[in-house]
């Protein structure tokens, strides 16, 4: 399945959206299987496995490797784009631009005089070795405690939830995602800014990109999964001290590293309380699960789902109570999860 992720990534770099999605879907089906596939017969009848995927799997089962994937791994362009996009703030477009200028390593980018990095990319390079290391569950929990204390010091009735991969039970993640809100509508507006100020005062805010809410109730839902939601949010880099992490392993870092702290990427999202359930569902992920759920809503239920609401065909959105009574949304979620979509 890692092979499928690599194929998806390579298609993404080539702007082949169809194949990219197909390989991601194949990867999530393979991940959901109870055991490793040992013969082609085992994947007969499974959904989302197309000809391409099956051909790659046949190669692996027959020769123990895929020549197509090995070719991609050796490809200079793939290697460079993969390296460049591993920097926080660098997307495929910027990576491609750098590649076209003949740049191949991170050092070359930093020493090339004509390259202007934006603030996010500068932070990405500055903390590169830390934020490219996986974040453990113990580290995520430690950050959860810090943020909870900060949030509750400002608003004792605020609600904070750990979302993203850790809410799905993953042991490691590339960042830590949180949702926060307050019971009184509109009060969440100032809360996030207040939290950021307080993290800065504590000396643990290494980087902050705050995006105000662009939420407009009259706007139609966005059907494109790739479009970000309109909630107020911030992408942060926080400083986590060694003593704050429980467990024998402590901080995830290099063996010789004696700094006593590491940088961690954190996302905070602050939806208004009446959108909380949709935001929680959307931000729990996985991305593939979110995509599938939206497709299911549209194709099987003739409704539109995004991170803000579930809309009926007349474009009026459902309230919580009507949602539970009329649409059986929780049942869809449960049944899709139990069907083993990617966790």
* Residues belonging to the active site: 175, 177, 267
Q: How many angstroms from the chain centroid is the CA of residue 208?
A: 18
Residue pair 309/282 in contact (Cβ under 8 Å)? The answer is: no
Report if residue 177 touches Mn ion, rule: CB under 5 A. Answer: yes
In the chain, how long is the greatest CA-to-CA distance? Answer: 61
Contact 84, 95 (CB under 8 A): yes
Indicate the residue among 66 and 284 with the shorter CB distance to ligand GTP. Answer: 284
SS3 15: coil
- Give whichever of 91 and 243 is closer to Mn ion, judged by the CB atom: 91
Q: Rounded CA gap, 39 and 293, in Å?
A: 30
* Residue 267 within binding range of Mn ion, rule CB under 5 A: yes
Closest contact distance (angstroms) between CB of 206 and ligand GTP is: 18
When CB distances are held under 5 to 8 angstroms depending on the partner's kind, the choice from Mn ion, ligand GTP, none that residue 271 binds is none
For residues 196 and 266, what is the distance between their CA atoms, to the nearest angstrom?
12
Q: Which of 48, 215, 225, 332 binds ligand GTP (CB under 6 A)?
A: 225
Q: Measured from the CB atom, is 89 or 173 closer to Mn ion?
A: 173
Q: How far is the CB of 103 from ligand GTP (least distance, A)?
A: 26
Residue, CB closest to ligand GTP: 285
* Residue window 130-169: x/- pattern of binding to Mn ion, with contact defined by CB under 5 A: ----------------------------------xx----
Q: Under the criterion CB under 5 A, does residue 209 sit at the interface with Mn ion?
A: no
Distances (CA, A) of 185 to 18, 188, 309: 40, 7, 16
**In Å, how far are 191, 297, 339 from 292, measured between CA atoms?**
33, 9, 12
Interface residue list for ligand GTP (CB under 6 A)? 164-165, 170, 173-175, 177, 225-226, 228-229, 282-283, 285-287, 290, 307
């Amino acid at each position: 399945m890692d092979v499928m992720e690599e194929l998806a990534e390579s298609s993404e770099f080539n702007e082949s959206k169809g194949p990219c999605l197909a390989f991601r879907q194949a990867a999530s089906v393979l991940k959901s299987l109870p055991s490793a596939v040992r013969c082609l017969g085992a994947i007969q009848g499974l959904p989302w496995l197309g000809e391409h995927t099956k051909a790659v799997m046949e190669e692996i089962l027959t020769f123990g490797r895929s020549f197509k994937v090995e070719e991609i791994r050796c490809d200079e362009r793939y290697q460079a784009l993969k390296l460049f996009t591993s920097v926080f703030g660098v997307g495929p477009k910027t990576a491609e631009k750098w590649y076209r200028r003949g740049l191949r390593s991170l050092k070359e980018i930093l020493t090339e005089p004509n390259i202007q990095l934006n603030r996010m990319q500068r932070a990405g390079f500055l903390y590169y070795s830390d934020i490219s290391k996986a974040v453990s569950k113990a580290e995520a929990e430690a950050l959860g405690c810090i943020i909870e204390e900060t949030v509750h010091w400002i608003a004792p009735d605020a609600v904070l939830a750990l979302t993203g991969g850790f809410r799905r039970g993953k042991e490691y993640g590339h960042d830590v995602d949180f949702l926060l809100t307050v019971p009184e509508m509109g009060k969440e507006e100032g809360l996030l800014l207040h939290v950021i100020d307080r993290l800065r005062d504590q000396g643990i805010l290494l980087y902050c990109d705050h995006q105000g809410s662009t939420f407009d109730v009259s706007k139609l839902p966005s059907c494109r999964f790739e479009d970000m939601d309109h909630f107020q949010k911030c992408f942060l880099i926080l400083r986590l001290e060694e003593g704050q992490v429980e467990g024998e392993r402590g901080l995830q870092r290099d063996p010789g590293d004696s700094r006593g702290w590491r940088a961690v990427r954190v996302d905070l999202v602050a939806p208004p309380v009446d959108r909380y359930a949709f935001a929680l569902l959307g931000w729990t992920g996985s991305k593939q699960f979110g995509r599938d759920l939206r497709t299911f809503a549209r194709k099987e239920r003739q409704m539109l789902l995004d991170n803000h609401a579930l809309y009926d065909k007349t474009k009026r959105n459902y309230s919580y109570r009507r949602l539970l009574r009329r649409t059986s949304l929780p049942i869809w979620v449960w049944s899709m999860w139990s069907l083993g979509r990617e966790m």
